[in-house]
Amino acid sequence: MQAEITVKGRVQGVFFRSHGKRQAQKLGLAGWIKNEPDGSVRICVQGPLKAINDFAQWCRSGPPGASIDKVEIIQTDSPGRQYPSFEILY
C-alpha cells in the first residue's frame, strides 16, 4: 500500500520533515518527505495500511510549532517504485 500526502499550513521551519521521518521509521514505513515551493510538505509513504493511517493521523497534528490547515491523502494499492527506507529529500 502507498499514500501520497500533502500537508498545508505552517509546516516549514518547524522541523516537520525530521519529525515526520522519525514517525515514519517508528511505524516501519518507507518513502520520502520534502518541502514544496508553495510552503506545503509532500510525503510518500509505503507499508501496511494501518501504519499509513497512523502516519496520516500524525500529519493532522504534526510536531510542536506546526499549524495544520489541510491534509490531502491519495492512497493506492500498488506503488510504482519501491523505496528501501524513509528519507528526507532536499
Q: Which residues are catalytic?
A: 17, 35
Residue 6 CB coordination number (10 Å): 17
Other residues' Cβ atoms within 10 Å of the Cβ of residue 78: 6
Q: Where are the beta strands (DSSP E) in 1-90?
A: 2-10, 30-35, 41-46, 67-76, 86-88
